[in-house]
Chains A and B, each alone.
Chain A
Amino acid sequence: MSSLKAYIITRALLVLPTVIILLTLVFFILRILPGDPIAAMVGQKVPPEVLEKMREEAGLNKPILVQYISYLYDIFRGDFGRSMIWGKRPVINEIADRFPATLELTIFAFTISVLLGILTGSIAAFRRGSKLDASMRVYSIVAYTLFIPWFGMLLQMLFGVYMHIFPIGGRIAPGMEPERITGLYVLDSILTFNGEALSSALLHLFLPSLTLGVVLSGAYTRIVRNNLIEVLHQDFITAYRARGIRRSRIAYHAMKNAFIPVITLMGLQFAILLAGAVLTETTFSWPGMGTFLLERIQYRDYTSVQGAIVFYALFVAVISLIVDIIYALLDPRIRY
């Protein structure tokens, strides 16, 4: 077995205890907090004896350890349970409804942030010490400190209300949802050759992904700039220059070497993106996991919150594994 394969298996196995620890923490913290989903939903309305019966039916009267063991047992069978509020739908269905929206937003925001970060970072590094460098550094700080709801609202006012170019909320125009294949509207519209849905989905995606993308690009600007400057001073670049190699070729080699820390940051940022999506989703009425989690925590929907967290944990674990593999492929010095 190659060392990379062994590494992947070890990493995959490590995901299990990580998820169990996380799940246990979430399970108990949610229950330590006062209040429960039944009371939060109907506590104000139904007669006390009915409320008690509803609690009993939901299994909330059982000892907490019994609840915990039975939940773990279900999770290992792949059963995320049912939501405890409103429609009491299977949690997995709720996640299947919401996650593609977040993933789509995340992918676009991620792409924008990386492109913007690399562009501004490279400009700053190649023009080190110039006014352009200074302005890119200012951009980096400003972008990093932007408050998402404020910046989002600014874009909504500018491009939505005044210029009428982009819609200010939602994922797609009414009635235009493409036939569901993956739940990612852009991909589904392409797969079903639905041009109208594609353009509507892209228009709706633009402002939220730009908001999130700009905010997260600040970190890339800084890291790309610093690494590129460091690489540009290394001996091999001087040697390339001495041999008269084309500058674009030198730039390519410099970028490739400066990119390794950026990849690490990309892995970390992806998890942060998922968190940042909460604010973006609220600002743009984006029906994703962020708004879902926020709402369900407020109503103490235990099963939904637990399910969503486990799902997130698995997702982030997979992403970080992929990042590590890319890392190894980019830098031949790295061995597992």
Chain B
Amino acid sequence: MTERKTILKLFAIALIAVAIAFSGCAQQEKPKATPTPAEKETPKATPKEVKAIVIGVTDKVTDLDPSNAYDFFTWEVMNNMMGGLMRYKPGTTELEPYLAESYEVQDGGKVYIFKLRKDLKFADGTPLTAQDVVRSIKRVMEINGDPAWLVTDFVENVEAIDDYTVKFTLKKPISYFLALTATPPYFPVHPNYKPNEIDSDQTAGGVGPYKITKWVRDQELILEANPYFFGEKPKTEKIIVRFYSDATTLRLAVEKGDIDIAWRTLTPVDLASLKQNPNLNVLEVPGAYIRYLVLNTVMEPTNEKLVRQAIAAAVDRKDISERVFMGTVEPLYSLIPKGMWSHKPVFADKYGDGNIELAKSLLKQAGYDENNKLKLELWWTPTHYGDTEKDLAQVLKEQFEATGVIEVELKSAEWSTYVDYLRKGAMMVSLLGWYPDYIDPDDYTTPFLRSGSNKWTGSGYSNPQMDEVLDKASVATDEAERTQYYEQAQDILAEDSPIVPLIQGKLFVVAKKDIGGITLDPTMIFRYYLLYWKS
């Protein structure tokens, strides 16, 4: 019995120790304000303390230097703490001057002159002039980081005419140059950024509604209103972004109330379940994110146009949307997404959706039948596009095999191997996705369809007629004229089918019911400065 007593004593001591350790911890935690680093004198009185809004994401901020950051979420954060000469009007895909007051296009679209606002200041009160814009752009060119090509491929020279005038001379006229100036590599940065070196942990930022007051890599990012911001003050003084490693934890965090908004990216299953939660709102808007199949035009048997057309006809996008994504995506019938000017649903017009009969007949013309089946290898990658990817591959296999004439072998490789195979053109049919760099039809056509520019897709596709149309569209300045070219390009795309569009992503935000100001549009940039507490 004594041993038992000893054990019981030990156990009781352990329990008491645990109880003491946690006794002080049981109160509900609240986000605590972080002391802001010493600042220069702020011009405006601090507004009354409003509760911070906490946003949870499964993304990460990879690099706080716009000369090297090249991922969607980091760009979103940059859009809240920096800004470009132009920006997209919130809720639209319409460009408007931002740091610039006005602009002028000269020399047939080869020269752009921007007049800056005169009230621009960085978050510590340092004034921003044309020299800062030039310094920042030249810095991007010099560092030559991941997104630098968005500048170096187009800009010949940039110079300051005076303190408030910046002149860009382009290598050739570019019709979508204004859209490029709304991307982070064109954002002017604070002089604290190291001149010719990537400065990944720099929090000085640029000119935007918020400034970073705290950043703990992969844990949290705290943004507070920039007191020197020239525009309307953010509706919420403080935004906290918390980083989660997977969708399940993010979902649990919003259910528990650890976060006020669950942003990118929840799974379709989580979204369906959260829609039933009476305390939360699930908002959706169309996104500019697309998924598609790449067909190898130089590898047998997909080198034959009839085969590619049959594949395009057999795909049933509505079925994919319902079965794989539970209605969280929209069917897509062109590479240019729905909602963008010049979009034309060419694949729906030419092939319909899940048109098995047409697919069979095209395959018959190509010499395939039940006894001589078309053998396809369909590649997919397990982690990069989330948990639904395996299902997507499986559903496509079923759809193709429903023709009775196609036999599909599924193959997978993890992302870095996948990209390697892709660039080598080693895959017959592969699943891919695309987030835009700039919101313009050019970004949805040239990288996929123009010879050389599309090498990364591994399709090996080349059509001089397509190249000519795309080149004309990239230099034309009139939107109506450009629309015609892009419509032509989409017609050729449907005919040649080197790429078969599948779906267009929708954006979902899950938020507490008393949060207002959630404004999303196809640019997919979440503007934190518009968020507010209704109560």
Contacts and interface: CB of A to CB of B under 8 A. Distances in A.
Q: A and B bound?
A: yes
Interface of A: 33-37, 39-48, 50-51, 53-54, 57, 85-89, 97-98, 115, 119, 122-123, 126-127, 153, 156-157, 160-161, 164-165, 167-177, 195-196, 198-200, 202-203, 206, 246-248, 250-251, 281-287, 291, 298-300
B349 to A, nearest CB: 28
Contacts of B24: 195, 198-199
A61 B205 CA distance: 34
B105 interface: no
A41 B70 contact: yes
A89 B11 contact: no
Given A173-B32, A247-B2, A285-B243, A299 B249 contact: no
Contacts of A86: 62-63, 68-69, 71, 200
Given A176-B32, A287-B217, A298-B416, A41 B149 contact: no
Contacts of B21: 202
B276 to A, nearest CB: 14
Contacts of B11: 119
Contacts of A123: 7
A173 B31 contact: yes
Interface in B123-145: 144
B216 interface: yes
Nearest to B414: A298
A115 B14 contact: yes
B415 A168 contact: no
Contact of A284 (B220, B249, B455): B249
Nearest to B246: A282
Q: Which of A40, A123, A167 has the most CB of B within 10 A?
A: A40
B217 A97 contact: yes
12 contacts: A34-B413, A43-B456, A86-B69, A86-B71, A173-B31, A176-B29, A202-B22, A247-B1, A285-B244, A285-B249, A287-B219, A298-B414
A287 B58 CA distance: 12
Nearest to B145: A88
Given A170-B219, A170-B242, A33 B33 contact: no
A200 B219 CA distance: 14
A43 B434 CA distance: 12
Contacts of A50: 148-149, 152-153
B421 A168 contact: no
Interface string B214-248: 10111110100000000000000000101111101
A129 B419 CA distance: 59
Contacts, number: 208
B416 A287 contact: no
Given A89-B200, A170-B220, A174-B222, 10 more contacts: A41-B146, A87-B200, A165-B26, A167-B258, A171-B219, A175-B33, A199-B24, A202-B21, A285-B244, A298-B416
A291 B3 CA distance: 43
Nearest to B4: A126
Contacts of A176: 29, 31-32
Nearest to A160: B256
Given A41-B70, A167-B258, A174-B31, A200 B246 contact: no
B245 A34 contact: no
B149 A36 contact: no
Given A44-B456, A174-B240, A168 B417 contact: no
Band of interface residues on B: 35 or more
B480 interface: no
Interface in B456-495: 456
B200 A174 contact: no
B399 to A, nearest CB: 25
Those 3 A-B pairs whose CB atoms lie nearest each other, nearest first: A87-B200, A35-B416, A247-B2
Contacts of B28: 164
A202 B144 CA distance: 44
Contacts of A169: 244-245, 249, 252-253, 258
A319 to B, nearest CB: 25
Contacts of A175: 31-34, 214, 220, 222, 240
B516 interface: no
A87 B416 contact: no
Given A156-B252, A169-B252, A173-B31, A44 B417 contact: no
Contacts of B34: 175
Contact of A281 (B63, B146, B214, B245): B245
A248 B6 contact: yes
A34 B246 CA distance: 26
Nearest to B384: A298
Contact of B416 (A97, A153, A167, A300): A300
A46 B420 contact: no
Contact of A40 (B153, B243, B415, B453): B415
A199 B23 CA distance: 9
B54 interface: yes
A198 B27 CA distance: 13
A152 B148 CA distance: 42
A121 to B, nearest CB: 11
A285 B29 contact: no
A164 to B, nearest CB: 7
A17 to B, nearest CB: 30
Contacts of A160: 252, 256
Contacts of A34: 413, 416-417, 420-421
A37 B416 CA distance: 7
A153 B248 CA distance: 9
A324 B27 CA distance: 43
Given A35-B420, A47-B453, A88 B246 contact: no
A87 B65 contact: yes
A314 to B, nearest CB: 23
Contacts of A54: 146
Contact of A36 (B7, B63, B416): B416
B420 A174 contact: no
Given A43-B456, A175-B222, A119 B10 contact: yes
